[in-house]
Structure formats: structure tokens, C-alpha cells
Homo-oligomer: A and B are copies of this chain.
Amino acid sequence: MKMYNFNSGPSILPEEVYAQAADAIHNFNNTGLSILEIGHRTSWFEEVLHEAQANVKSLMQIDDSYEVLYLHGGATTQFMQVPMNLLDTNAQAAYCDNGIWGKKAIEEAGYFGKVAVAASSKDKGHTYINKTLNVPDDAVYLHYTTNNTVEGTQWHHIPDVSMPLIADMSSDIFCRPMDFSKFSLIYAGAQKNMGAAGVTLTVVKKDLLGKINRPIPPIMDYRKHIEAGALLNTPPVFAVYVSMLTLRWIIANGGLAAMEQRAKERADLLYNTLDSLPLFKPTVAKEDRSLMNAVFILENGELEKQFLDECKKNGMIGVKGHRSVGGLRISMYNALPLSSVQAVCDLLKDFANRKG
């Protein structure tokens, strides 16, 4: 059966990436060795890492004032590592509260310093993005989540603030061109738009570091990672390789402008279909809808269950909403073909015709 992968992450990657990754497990770059057995301090791996780092810099169009690190631990570890490196005990940082990942970032930051909530969309179940912020002048940085995977909202502008800007871009990185130079620190778990689970990208402006008094355990100190050339400890070699391949695919397929065009085609098709069918109710304010994750409900719980069953029968996976919000969700990351969205739209229309 043909499968349609609407997972929210880990999710679909390009077919070429699967093929190249599998080949490299048998024989990496004609070395006669598997990518799984090569040392991380070999020139073989260094080439992989350096290409991945260069691809990130090229896609972001950032200069050498930034360092590109591939770290362990997922974005959740960055929720901790960011304030551990940047927020003194008596200082405060501003955070936007726009969904469950932002909330987790706020929670971790609270272990290190004070948190000022600059904006919250909690009053409407995080179904919109705040247009005005209340950022204290002495906040040492503003943190926000560019795309809310669970709630299906996305920032379509970059907040304009005077302090360093930090973003968790886990679920929409590299889906569109952006002025990345407006950020002082960007991080993203790789497992949506830029690779498989098991590695996290952190891009940090060097002049942001070394300004606090807290002693930082070396393994969590961004400066130590930078000094060690991003090889402070054994990196997740294969996950870095898969991310490098995925970034290479993005560049070969037209870069961020092309990714955005494809994302808009997918999202337009899906949201237009949903808007045309009264049975399905998208939950997010129209102007804040995510290009990556479309969240909607069926008001009748029994029908929702029937729809999910029909998805399953048609090989469409990942359509159930996150356990914290329920409903339905269709995720449409970079590697998802438009034909997959067409397939689920056909099912949406057919289902509505039969049940509506």
C-alpha cells in the first residue's frame, strides 16, 4: 500500500536521502566502510560536518560572526542550555507563550533566572499569534517559537526588538527565506525539515556568549563546543550525515525560495479544501495558520474517529492531533509531495460528501 506520511515529526524525508543514507550504511563514499563505523575525527566525517555547516550558513546567508553547531539532546535540551549559557540568576529573559513547546522552554528557563512572559495566546487556546509584545527593557533576550507544531500557528513576521532574539525553529526551519541575521541564536531539532531524529542544530552569534557569571558545566557550554570545532564529544555521526544530505537536497531543489513556494502550494490546497467543507473546522486564526501543520476538528467526535479510520485504511498516517489538544492535524514538511496533500484533500471531500 502506498503510504502518505503526515507525521508531525519525525516525519518524511526526501526519497534521495533515504537511498543515499542506506547506501552509506553499506559503503560510505567508497571507503569500504559503513557510515556507522567511521570515526568522528576522521577526515571522512569532518567533510560531512563541514558540508553540513556550510550548507546551513549558505541557506541562512549568515557570516562568520555565527557558529554552526550540531548538538545532542533535542530542542528540549536547548530549552535548558540557552538560559544556562545566557541568563544570570538575577537577570530576566522575555519569552513568548504560544504553545506547549514555548511553555516547556519557559519552564526550563525558570531554573536559571527570571522569566517575563512577553505575550501569551493562552486565552484562546493558543490558536493565534500575538501581534504586540510587552518586553521589559532589561530582558537579556526575547525567545519565541517560530512555528507551533501542536497548535498549528506560525509567526509570519520577525519580532522587532532591541535585545538579542532567540528562536526555536524546530518545526519550520528552512521552509522559507528569512532574515536569519536578525537572530542571535537559532535552534532546531532536525527531525522535521532538516533530517532525522537524533541531532539538533544550534546557530549562535559568538558575541552573545561569555557575558554571565554562572559556572557552566563544560559539556553544556557553547564556547567549549565552538573551541572544539563542534567536536567536543562524539557527535551523532549518522544523524549529522542525514542532515547534511537533507540540506544538500534543499539546495539542489531551489533553496528556501523553492521550499516556500512548495509549502504555500501544499498549504493553500489543504486550507482551501478545509474552508470549502463546513464539516471540518480549522482551529487557527486565518492570518496565523502554519504552512507546516494544519490543525482542524470535526465537531462530532464519532465522525472524527471514522475519518481517522478512513485515513488509516488509505495509508495516511500521522493525522491524529497531538494528545494535548486532540482533533486532527496534517503536517506538511519540506519533503512532502503535493500529491500527498491532494490525496488527503480528495479523502476530505469524499468524506464530507458522504457524511456532511
Write the nearest CB–CB distance from A331 to chain B, whole angstroms. Answer: 10
A124-132, A232-240, A247-255: which lies at the interface: A232-240
As a 0/1 sequence over residues 1 to 29 of chain A, the CB contacts with chain B under 8 angstroms (1 = contact) are 11101011111110001110111011000
Contacts of A73 in B (CB 8 A): 72-73, 77, 219
Given contacts A234-B74, A237-B10, A219 and B79 within 8 Å (CB-CB):
yes
Residues of B near A76 (CB, < 8 A) are 219, 232-233
**Chain B residues, CB < 8 A from A11:** 37, 39
> Do B18 and A80 touch (CB < 8 A)?
no
Nearest Cβ distance between residue A270 and chain B, in whole angstroms? 19
B191, A80: Cβ atoms under 8 Å?
Answer: no
A25 to B13 Cα, complex, angstroms: 11
- A301: which B residues are within 8 A, CB to CB? none
On chain B, the residues within 8 Å of A39 by CB distance are 7-11, 317-318
Task: Looking at the assembled complex, report how far the CB atom of A16 sits from the nearest CB atom of chain B, in whole angstroms.
Answer: 12
Interface size bracket, A side:
35 or more
Residues A3 and B233 in contact in the complex (CB < 8 Å), given A39-B318, A111-B217: no
Using A73-B72, A197-B40 as known contacts, say yes or no to A189 and B234 having CB atoms under 8 A apart. Answer: yes
Residues in B with CB closer than 8 Å to A72 are: 72-74, 77, 198
A residues 47-92 near B (Cβ < 8 Å) are: 72-77, 79-80, 84
Interchain nearest-CB distance for A9 vs B (Å)? 7
Give every chain B residue within 8 A of A12 (Cβ-Cβ).
Answer: 37
Q: Shortest Cβ distance from A145 into chain B, in angstroms?
A: 15
Q: Once the chains are docked, how many angstroms separate the CA of A127 from the CA of B280?
A: 70
Known contacts A218-B108, A233-B76, A26 near B34 by CB under 8 Å? no
When A18-B26, A108-B217, A239-B236 are in contact, do A199 and B198 touch as well, CB less than 8 Å? yes
Q: Which residues of B contact A315 (CB under 8 A)?
A: 32
Can you list 30 pairs linking A and B with CB atoms under 8 Å apart? A1-B32, A10-B38, A10-B39, A10-B234, A13-B37, A19-B26, A21-B25, A21-B36, A22-B22, A22-B23, A22-B25, A32-B315, A72-B73, A72-B74, A73-B73, A74-B233, A74-B234, A76-B219, A79-B219, A84-B217, A107-B218, A108-B217, A108-B219, A189-B234, A197-B236, A198-B198, A198-B235, A198-B237, A238-B238, A239-B239
Known: A10-B40, A108-B218, A191-B237. 9 other contacts (CB 8 A): A3-B33, A22-B22, A40-B197, A72-B72, A72-B73, A73-B77, A74-B233, A107-B218, A196-B238
